[in-house]
Each structure stands twice: as structure tokens, then as C-alpha cells.
Chain A
Amino acid sequence: MKVVIAGAGEVGTHLARMLSSEDHDIVLIDDSPEKLFKINGDVDLMTVAGSAHSFQDLKQTGLAKADLFIAVTPSEERNVLACSMASYLGVARTIARINNSEYLMPRYRAKLNNLGIHELIYPESLAAKEIVASIKQTGTRQLIEFSNGKLLLMGIKVREDAPILNKPFEQLQLEDEQIMVVAINREGRTIIPNGSDYLINGDIVFFVTTRMEQQRVFELTAKKPFEVKNIMFLGGSRIAQKAIEKLGDQYRIKVVEESIEKCEQVAGKYGNALVINGDCRNLKLLKDEGLEKMDAVVATTGNSETNILGCHLAKTLGVRRTIAEVENLAFMGLAENMNIGSIVNKKLIAASYIYRFTLNAAISKVKCLTASDAEVFEFIVKADAKITQKPIKDLGFPDEAKIGGIIRGEEGYIAGGNTQIKEGDKVVVFTLPSGIKKLEKFFK
């Protein structure tokens, strides 16, 4: 597939790197030659120095023959315009990154479609969704629901008091049929486990289970979910605002923000939030505002370092749930080891979201597991797909990937070796990046 990406920012380069390593033809256009020069030496792609909204420069990218155009420059107007121009120049499908939820409304979608803007991506909104999900689901690092919660993916850090430690998974499988470990993140490496592997202290484990068995997972990992009532947001950024909007009225929310304009903006929009004007690095202020009494702290200032420090402080003061926005990819691994709870990175979220448009198989969900390089897909099984031909254990499924469960009709099941997948099932699959290409042929 030929993909043209406009904008060599972090989302753009991350996508380019990911797609290029999977044999897509990538052309990256940006107006800064320095940014292009950097990626040119590392990734097999073609770069064009030019403006994303110039017909002349867009033509240079060979857009007419491209299958997908992704506009992820920092400016929304530019992305929308670029997509519209790209459609005019003959690209099959366009995706624009936006910063405005109005565009997402169904009644405007058709209008945008007429302009040649086919898909929209709003990273801040996606990140806010993740934040809300992790506030509502305490105890887990990451919670992904498939088909409205028929299957759940739970990422949990296990400590030394967890009864599940050092037990081989074969045994676990016998005791609890509806729980399956699909991936482990151990010391920064992602492992797709087999039956003889077991957990050790400090692993971040990804379980697939059903809603019914959710409680059992918490027992196994010695986690006690609790009710969140008091939440403090460090930074009133767009992500924070989106999250507050999605959280609704049943929480007591405090927002600490340095900029007076933003404070006024947040205070004006959300009546249930108490807005404090001050620096998030001012420890006295945070303590005065009752940081240690909070059930959850969400750090979404524009600055990754501040977010990490803020959450670290909250943790040491005994806040049980902390979520930090870490945009600096290099910090992700470091932050993971610092005991600061969940991490949200809107670039990775956005990249995973866009990613599914490049796959041929029908996919209803793609997510990237935080703190690991694994991805999780929800495939919709087509008639005659290779995967329907044999039970799972005889398929010769790649080692880098694992089938977590299937959703058939209204029920979710955990997949065993003898499970036979049928047409119309939704299959939840985990894979390391190297396995993605191999997966595609099972679902085509």
C-alpha cells in the first residue's frame, strides 16, 4: 500500500516508522528539511520537503497513485485543507487529525466527506477516553473493552503479594478457564507467553477475561478496586478538559493550572470543577489543596517531566490512582519503572488508531498496549478466511502472536487450543510488531 503522510511530527514519524517496517511505501512531506533529514537516515521512505497544503508540493509526493493520505500536522485547518486537496488530486482515502470535537458529530460527517475528508482522528479525545477508563477501573494499568465489554483486556502490575506469582500458566488455565494471560511486560521487554511461562514480581501482565471473571483477576493479583470520588487534574490542557467533560458530575474534581486564561476557560466550561491557579510544581500549593486526600491524580500539563514528577509525588503521598500523560517517547520506559501508575501517550494512541486503515483484513479495533510494543487487534472473521479452517492449535499461528478470545453473538469466550473460529466471530489477537504481517493472511 502506498501511504503519504503529511507532518513529520511525533505522530507522523511514529506512523511512518511503523508502516515502513511493514512493507508499505511511505512518502513523508513536511516543510522542515531538518526533521525530514533526521528520519531519512533511519527509515526506508521517501521524503518531500514542502507544504502540506500546496498543490505543487503534494503532487511531488505521487499522491495520485497513493491509497491513503494521512494529515497529522499540528494545525487542524491545515490537515483538513490538505485532505481535501489530496482527495482532489486522486488519493483513495484521507485521514485528518483534528482538535475540535464538533467535526466528529454525525450530522457534519457527510459534509466533511463531501469535502474529501474521509476519516477524522482526534488524539486528545482518544487520550481522554483512556484516562476516563482508567479512573473508572481502578486496580488496572490499562483496561480495554471489546464489543461493549463482552471481553475485557486488563493490564495489571503484579507485586510480591499476588497469589498468581510463579505459577505456570498451564496450571492457571485448568483452575480458571475464563482467564488468560496474553502478554507480559518484563523489564521493558514484551513477552508473548506460552504454557510453561510464569509471572514474577514486577511484571505488568495483560489478562483477557470476561466481565464475570473480572473479580477473580483482582483476587489473583491481590488488587482491591476502590471507588474514586476525588480527582485532581494537574494542568488544564485540552486532554484534561475532554476528560472532565466525559467524567460527568459524579466526581469532585480539582484542576491546578498555571495560565490564568486557561483557568478561566476551564472554570467557565465545567461547573463541577474547582479551578486553582498555580504552578503544578509548587508542592506546598498541591499539599494545601489536599493532594494526599485524592483518590486519583491525573497529570496532563504540556510537560512530560512535570507530569512524571507530579504523579511520583502523588504516589509517595499515598494517592492510589495516578495517570500521567507522557508525550516524550524516550521517557516512556523510564516512567514505567518509576512507579507512577498508568501512562497515556496520545501519539501512540493516535498511531494505533490510524494503523488499522492500512490493513486489508476487517478490523474493528486496534490498540497499543501501554508500556510495551505489542498491539491488540479485534478482527472480524470473514467467510473462508484461513483462520476458520482448523482449530486454533492446528493453525500454525505465529509465535509472536496469541489469540486471546472470541466474541460470538452476544457472548465472549476465552480461546483454547480446541476452539474453532467461525465466520462472523470477532477475534481478539495480541501481537508483537513483527507478527502483524503474518496475522493478516489468517484473516484475509
Chain B
Amino acid sequence: MNFKIIFRVLGFLLFVEGVAMLLALFISLLYQGYDSTAFIISSGINLSLGGTIILLTRKVRPDIGRHEGYIIVSLVWVVFSLFGCLPYIISGAIPDFTNAFFETISGFTTTGSSVLTDIESLPHGILFWRSISQWLGGMGIIVLSLAILPVFGIGGMQLFMAEVPGPTPDRISPRIRQTAKTLWGIYLIFTVAEILLLWVAGMGVFDAVCHSFTTMATGGFSTRQASIAHWSSPAIQYIIIVFMILAGTNFTLSFMAIKGRFARVIKDEEFKYYILFILIFTAVIFIGLLVSSHLKVEQAFRDSLFQVVSIITTTGFATADYLTWKPVLYMLIFSLFFFGGSAGSTGGGIKIMRIVLLLKNSYYELRRMVHPQAIIPVKFNNTSVDSKIITNVLAFFMFYFAIFAASSVIFSIIEPDMESAMGAVATSLGNIGPGLGNVGPSETFVHIKPIGKWFLSFLMLLGRLELFTVLVLFSPSFWRE
């Protein structure tokens, strides 16, 4: 195991985080908040520590193997969160370490669960740091570093595979660096487009920037306590719906759409199912809301569409509290916790592709029972899917639900009621944000016991790296060389 290269990469990434903190410092100076010193100190710590590590490890062999890749990627998110919570603690915005860490990792993993009970009172620098932490985490810290830093060489591949696992490999260009650059390019274009549109629709520039960051990352942090419900303007809500859908779409498809190859986009099976799921759930909930409440038609449609898109893409914004709906409706929302965005998007969760592959495989199993001798491959986008991939997806599913079940049991020891426990676990594992019961859309996570917060933080990391990258570190065969 080449531990030195692990250090070197972490050093570079700390440096990147320090630069991101400088951006927040700039905002805080612009608005003259009390948080400027906090950003000066924390970016100073990051830049000097990162710089020192980089200098000390200059002569390290640059080869990163599979093992190092998994360790680096898992560690990066932890280290990023440890150093990323400095501004909260130093400025006094979130003085408690556990809370600050929870807020930070919830940011970087684009979960969006918050411990803040009075967001509006915070200075602009801190609010901006919350948003940019999600934006960095959304497309992936490693992917960003691959795009802008020249350090990784061949090893970049291993890191990319560990951070962007997905069921099938998806490449835009032959070089991993070029792929990373393209992905970040599209991400940036969408973010800027959303900022402009939100601003035109009447949102303040600062709010528009922060919300665009957290929408494109499918994060869900808001600069307002009431989340998007703060703005009653339908235009703003529809704009955010559109960009949540874009963020939950495979970025390779967006790339093709930008290049004008719409035929490929429309033919894409995952995209079709993604839109189909959104439509079905919206329709059912829309009808349910019409029947069970006194909302106007447009309002009911918008509320159902917004909530469905927000949860399926794992963003976690809210314009309505689904817990006040009829139980059948919020159970429908809860089932969406287990969908997630498309593969290759910034969305978390199980991912549409895996769901579709599993449904197909299970359905074909019935046909296989009728025709025992038949060869019936699972087809996706008109090509047969390798059985290795199916096995991998099955294993993922098994792990996901085993972890969900076990964690719910453990969590119900920490928190008394089962509904809240299941909600908190599912939302953390799926990187969504709001849960059920006492962690619903209008609640925060501040009242959860410290041990519970650490536990949820771990689940967020597991979910963000799609289980395997982190789980593999716990398997004895990984360490036995």
C-alpha cells in the first residue's frame, strides 16, 4: 500500500478546499459579516497544511492502485468534512463540533439535512459556504480535482471509478481528465443558467446563486428556514423543478443534448423510466391531494410535482410539508426515498438504472420459470446486460436494504419512535435531506443525540459513495495483501 501518495492526494484536496473557503471569505467581506475572520483562519489552516503536505511528498511514486483509490476517496470526504466544519465552529454559527461536522458532511454528501433552527440569522459567508460545500460535493470532489489538478496521472482512473461507481462505465472522452472537465463544464453551464433564470424570476442574486448551487448538486440546503416555500412565486418553483430534473439526469445525456444529439436522449431507457416514474407519482399524488385537501388545482399540481421531483432526485427542497398529507400520500413519498436520480447524475439513492435492471430481471425470472431452457438476457438500451452487472446490482440492493434495516433497528434505540428512525436512516442513506416523523421537512436534525448524528453522518458517506467504495474498506480481504 502506497500510503505516501494517499497523503499527497489529500494534501492537494485540502488545498482545493482552502481555495473554496477563500471564495466564501470574499462573500463575507462583500457583505461585511462577522464571519470573515473565521474564513481567514480556516482557509489559512487548509492552505498551509495542504501546501506543507504537497511539499513534503514531492518525490512520491505517483501510482495509485485500486486499494489506494478506495482509501483516498473514502478518506477525502471525511477529511473534507473535518476541515470544512472549521468556519462554522470558529465563527460561532454552529459552536458544537458534532453539529458542525453533521452540517458539513450533510453538505458535502449533498444530503441537505440541517441542524440549523434559524438560518436567516446567519451571515452571508456562512450561508455561501453551506451552498458551495454542496456544489463541490455534487459533481464530486475527486472529479473536480481530476479536472483541474495535474497530479493524478494514471491513478486518476481508479479514483474516478471509486467516486463515480454507477452500474456501467460511461465515458464521454478517452481521457478521464477530459471526461471530468466536460462533466464540470456542463455542471457549470447549468448552474449559471439557473442563477440567471431565478434572478429574472425575482429571486435576489445571493439567494439565486446559493439555490442554484444546491439544486444542481441535488443537495437541498436553502438560505431560508422555510426552504423554497419562502418564495410563493410559481415561476421560481417551476424553474427549480426543471433544474432538479436536469441535475437528476445522466450528465452524459445532457452532454449529448447540448451537442444536438436529441435522438440519443429520447431513446435512452433510463431517462424514459426516470420521467415515467416522476409522472406516475405526480399524477397519483396530485389526484390524492385534489380529493383530500382544498388546494387549488394548479397549487396541488405544483406541490405534488415539486415534492416528487425533489425527493426522487434526492434534492430535498420543500414547498409543502408532505407529513401533513394523508398517510397514503406520504407513504408514496417515502417509497420515493428508495429511487434516486439517474446513474451519472448528481443525485444519490439507489439510482433509476439499478431499479429498472432489477425490475426487469425479476420479471424475466417469471418467464424463465415457465421456460426453464430459455436464455433470456436482461436488455437495457437494446443491448444485453452482462450478468456480472446484474449480480453487482443485486448485491448493491441487498446491501442497501440490509443496511437500511439494520440501521433502522440501531437508530430506534437512539431515537424513540420507529417512523422517525426509519425516515432519518433512509434520508441519510439516500442523501435526500428531510425524513419522516420528527425529522420531516419542517423539522431539523438538531434534537438528535450526538451519537445519532455521527451514525447518520456515516450513512450519508456510505450512500454518497454508493456503498461499495466504503464497505470494501471493512472487508478483511481488502487489507490482506
Contacts and interface: CB of A to CB of B under 8 A. Distances in A.
A44 B173 contact: no
Nearest to B155: A44
Contact of A44 (B175, B383, B386, B388): B175
Contacts of B174: 2, 25-27, 44-46
A25 B161 contact: no
* Residue from A2, A21, A46 whose CB has the most chain B CB atoms within 10 Å: A46
A27 B161 CA distance: 18
A283 interface: no
Contact of B388 (A20, A21, A37, A49): A37
A25 B386 contact: no
A33 B157 contact: no
Contacts of B383: 49
Interface residues of A, number: 18
Interface in A29-51: 33-34, 37, 40-47, 49
A380 to B, nearest CB: 30
Contact of B175 (A25, A33, A41): A25
State the main secondary structure of chain A at its contact with B. Answer: mixed
B386 A46 contact: no
A14 to B, nearest CB: 16
B156 interface: yes
A43 B157 contact: yes
A2 B169 CA distance: 20
A2 B176 CA distance: 14
Interface string B163-188: 00000010101111010000000000
A70 to B, nearest CB: 14
A235 B171 CA distance: 44
A41 B161 contact: yes
B169 A44 contact: no
A46 B171 contact: yes
B154 interface: yes
Given A33-B386, A37-B388, A44 B161 contact: no
B154 A37 contact: no
Contacts of A47: 169, 171
Contact of B386 (A2, A27, A34): A34
Interface in B354-396: 383, 386, 388
A77 to B, nearest CB: 26
Contacts of A43: 157
Contacts of A49: 383
A104 to B, nearest CB: 31
B154 A46 contact: no
* Residue from A33, A44, A45 whose CB has the most chain B CB atoms within 10 Å: A44
Nearest to A28: B174
A66 to B, nearest CB: 10
Given A21-B154, A41-B161, A46 B173 contact: yes
Contacts of A44: 154, 156-157, 174-176
Top 3 A-B residue pairs of the complex, sorted by shortest distance between their CB atoms? A25-B174, A46-B174, A46-B171
Given A34-B386, A47-B171, 15 more contacts: A21-B154, A25-B175, A26-B174, A37-B169, A37-B388, A40-B169, A42-B157, A43-B157, A44-B154, A44-B156, A44-B174, A44-B176, A46-B171, A46-B174, A49-B383
